[in-house]
Amino acid sequence: MRTGLLSLLLAAIALLAVPAQTFSAKTVVVDAGHGGQDPGAIGVNGLYEKSVNLDVAQKLKEQLIQRGYEVVMTRTADEYLSLAQRVEQTNAAQPSLFVSVHANSHPNPNVSGSLVLYYDSDYPQDSYPASEAMAKLSPESKKLANLVLKNIISETGFADKGIVPSAAYVIRMGQVPSILVETAFLSHSGDAARLSDSPVRQKLADGIAKGIAAYLPLPDLFPDLADHWAREAVLRLKDKGLVEGIFNRYEPDRAVTRAEWLALSDRLFKFADRLHAADAPDTGYPDTTTPKEQKKAETSLPTDQTEAAQAPSSPPELPESASQGQASPLAQTPPTWANRSAVQSETTAAPKPASRTPSPGQPQSFKDLPKSHWAYETFQNAVRLGYMNGYEDGTIRPDQPITRGEVTALLERMTADAGNSPPWTGPADFTDVPLKHWASGPIYRMKQQGIITGVTDKTFAPDKKMTRAEMAALMDRYVAAPK
């Protein structure tokens, strides 16, 4: 079995190259009107427009993110921004579209309802010229305005005041289709009362989001991969049941956690089957890993990784982590991977995994791996198989990011017999992977075999966190390799 796996490895498993990072999804700028010293309109019930705007904008942001859009907010607090600053922020975000959220006011207290403003080059105002781009975008902005208004009306039941050509600054000076939503009239007692009601604000946000989705549709599955370089790879793996999203998102540019990497490896290599194969001849132990347990170990990625789920909007990591002052877990302690004794592993053959394999019935205890952890069984099996060890401080760090170096070493460990991992004696082409690097063996062997490449010709970035997109690309290559 091991020989077969090794040949698979040699066949061209994996690609650790990092293609140019591209913006992964359609971005919407959400602008909450007014703020700080500028309250906007003040309602007949005392409600401040700036507060309603911000709450609706934040609810809209949540709606859009759930649908798979990237969202940039011009403000997230009660602060003053000039109109020019809002447009500058918008241009800098290079979004697909811009939506500004306001509430209206009219001298006549009987005027009520929703309306949506957009710039229309058929109704130019000489004193308020539009940007060159916006003048040409009128048909797009108008289409967006119509779709958003229609959905607001159907969600909220506010009176339909129609779409209105306007020279308002924020919808006139930008570079992308732009609208300004006047949700309802704070000068109207009925509208104002409804605007103070959180469920109504939610309906407003839902309506605006539906309108945006109608204008700018995203794929149903993993919309955050819409234009991503790794989309095809992820979808192939999804087809095979090897990867899962988080809700409906894949979060391609988020660092993959050790648990996520291990879960994917387990789905592919079937740790429980390997344990069974390894144990049965020697011990005659009954297989303690029942099919049910294995199923549990292979369950999909967690849906409640709040910590991880909040990370995704951070920009993709550059090969910097070594110099960032954030020490790799492997730099502080002996290698995570079983049988690898840091530098020593370069000069001595690693012992057989079995020599450290606890008996199947005795799970190891790690401080940060409670039985309730979604990947508990997977980690236990990986430890039993000798793929992974805990750290000296008694942790195994399931929810920490995993680095490119760690993945490379672990993949070799899972695909090759430990005895087939001799020290590497050179050449050491990557300036950041000297021979004494703990993972130089796996890295240079896989490079030699054409399995991985560096982030540049000269660097591998072994301490860089692997992203979920890179994980998918790597496994896609592995799965596609001739068997």
Looking at beta carbons only, is 196 or 420 nearer to Zn ion? Answer: 196
At 327 the three-state DSSP class reads: coil
Q: How far is the CB of 37 from Zn ion (least distance, A)?
A: 14
Quote the tokens at residue 219: 């794929």
What is the distance between the alpha carbons of residues 410 and 459, in angstroms, rounded to a whole number?
20
Looking at beta carbons only, is 33 or 405 nearer to Zn ion? Answer: 33
DSSP assignments along 351-387, one per residue: PPGGGGPPPTT-----TT--TTSTTHHHHHHHHHTTS
Asked if 150 and 212 count as a contact pair (C-beta separation under 8 A), the reply is: no
Q: How far is the CB of 376 from Zn ion (least distance, A)?
A: 52
Q: How far is the CB of 102 from Zn ion (least distance, A)?
A: 3
- Cα dist. 196→47, 106, 403 in Å? 7, 18, 48
- Cα dist. 73→60, 165, 195, 307, 442 in Å? 10, 24, 21, 21, 44
Q: How far is the CB of 39 from Zn ion (least distance, A)?
A: 10
What is the distance between the alpha carbons of residues 95 and 179, in angstroms, rounded to a whole number?
13
Q: How far is the CB of 34 from Zn ion (least distance, A)?
A: 6
Looking at beta carbons only, is 205 or 275 nearer to Zn ion? Answer: 205
Q: How many CA atoms lie within 13 A of 143 on its CB side?
A: 11
Q: How far is the CB of 181 from Zn ion (least distance, A)?
A: 10
Asked if 41 and 53 count as a contact pair (C-beta separation under 8 A), the reply is: no
Q: How many CA atoms lie within 13 A of 388 on its CB side?
A: 27
Q: How far is the CB of 103 from Zn ion (least distance, A)?
A: 6
Tokens 């391609």 -> residue: 252
Tokens 């306007």 -> residue: 166
At 120 the three-state DSSP class reads: coil
Looking at beta carbons only, is 40 or 211 nearer to Zn ion? Answer: 40
What is the distance between the alpha carbons of residues 154 and 72, in angstroms, rounded to a whole number?
26
Q: How far is the CB of 208 from Zn ion (least distance, A)?
A: 15
At 339 the three-state DSSP class reads: coil
Looking at beta carbons only, is 102 or 267 nearer to Zn ion? Answer: 102
Looking at beta carbons only, is 40 or 442 nearer to Zn ion? Answer: 40
Core vs surface per residue 203-241: b (16+ CB within 10 A) or e:
bbbbbbbbbbbebbebeeebbbbbebbbbebbbbbbeee
Q: Which residues bind Zn ion (CB under 5 A)?
A: 33, 40, 102
**Residue number of the CB atom closest to Zn ion:** 102
Looking at beta carbons only, is 80 or 285 nearer to Zn ion? Answer: 80
Looking at beta carbons only, is 183 or 265 nearer to Zn ion? Answer: 183
Asked if 439 and 462 count as a contact pair (C-beta separation under 8 A), the reply is: yes
Quote the tokens at residue 439: 């993972």
Looking at beta carbons only, is 40 or 454 nearer to Zn ion? Answer: 40
Looking at beta carbons only, is 117 or 212 nearer to Zn ion? Answer: 117
Q: How far is the CB of 33 from Zn ion (least distance, A)?
A: 4
Q: How far is the CB of 145 from Zn ion (least distance, A)?
A: 16
Looking at beta carbons only, is 33 or 454 nearer to Zn ion? Answer: 33
What is the distance between the alpha carbons of residues 163 and 107, in angstroms, rounded to a whole number?
20
Q: How far is the CB of 110 from Zn ion (least distance, A)?
A: 20
What is the distance between the alpha carbons of residues 382 and 274, in angstroms, rounded to a whole number?
10
Asked if 299 and 374 count as a contact pair (C-beta separation under 8 A), the reply is: yes
**How big is the chain, counted in residues?**
483
Q: How far is the CB of 137 from Zn ion (least distance, A)?
A: 22
**Helix (H) and strand (E) counts in the chain:** 18, 6
Looking at beta carbons only, is 33 or 177 nearer to Zn ion? Answer: 33
Quote the tokens at residue 171: 């919808």
Give the CA-trace dihedral at 134, 137, 140, 142, to 10 degrees: 60
